[in-house]
Amino acid sequence: MRQSLKALLTLRNWILDGTLSAGERLWEPTLATRLAVSRTPLREALVRLEHEGLVEAAERGGYAVRGFSPDYLKQTIEIRGTLEGLAARQAAEARHPASRLEPLHRLVEHIDTIVSRAQLDEEALNRYVTLNGAFHQHLLALAESMALSEALERIGNLPFASPNAFVMSYAHSASAHRILFIANDQHRCLVDALAAGEGARAEQIAREHARIAQRNLDSALAHPAGLNAVSGGALIRQP
């Protein structure tokens, strides 16, 4: 188990940071040596990565690193937004007491202080990424649906699909302020909808919110240098 987990984490990193590149055939004996693990745990790690969607069965047996078209990324963002919409709706319909929404309010205010800074440097973006991730995690928890948490966790294995995907590609970009300001206003409206028990509205805000990731993707694809700042960016195959 330990060996298998070590192999999984290392391989995942190598794939996401581009050490292993999209389409590359994975030779198990070579990998076992590089990772210093035996074949059974390596195999287990590869099966997990296949289920996560990062490797796929190669034509002549074994595995290869998967590559992703911009279309596939777009689809994944849409699925994530749709499932987060479901989470938001269920969180609103659950009519939680105000105290359970309190952390969301505080995250929105906290993000506001970041977004209103004159300079959005890498450190500020990192801070945004942490708080934004916390917001989305908390929202999901309010849906109280184990099946939905599992489904979103599976989608989240692909880093392009995460609420924070492509945010880092804004480092040194003038648009960061505008896009993150809009994103946080959507957070605010979402919390208002939860507080008012407006499930339909909450669902639609969450969906539209995921379109920010889509806009970020479009912007990153238009300035491919930005893709290097993005986890998994090396796996994107532009047509």
Alpha-carbon Rg for the chain in angstroms: 19
CA separation for the pair 57, 6 (Å, rounded): 21
| Contacting range for a copy of itself; rule: CB under 8 A; set: 16-24, 100-108, 118-126, 190-198 | 190-198
Residue 104 · residue 232 · CB < 8 Å: no
Tokens standing for 165?
């995907």
Please report where in the chains the tokens 């989240």 appear, as a residue: 156
Residue 90 or 162: the one with the smaller Cβ distance to a copy of itself is: 90
Number of residues binding to a copy of itself, judged by CB under 8 A? 48
Site string for a copy of itself, 104-133 (x = CB under 8 A): ------------------------------
CA separation for the pair 175, 102 (Å, rounded): 30
Tokens standing for 116?
């209103």
Please report where in the chains the tokens 């994107």 appear, as a residue: 236
Binding status of residue 173 toward a copy of itself by CB under 8 A? no
Site string for a copy of itself, 11-30 (x = CB under 8 A): --------------------
Residue 220 · residue 169 · CB < 8 Å: yes
> Interface with a copy of itself by CB under 8 A: which residues?
1, 39-40, 43-44, 47-48, 51, 53, 61, 72, 75-76, 78-79, 82-83, 85-86, 89-90, 93, 95, 145-148, 150-151, 154-155, 178, 181-182, 185, 189, 196-201, 203-205, 207-208, 211
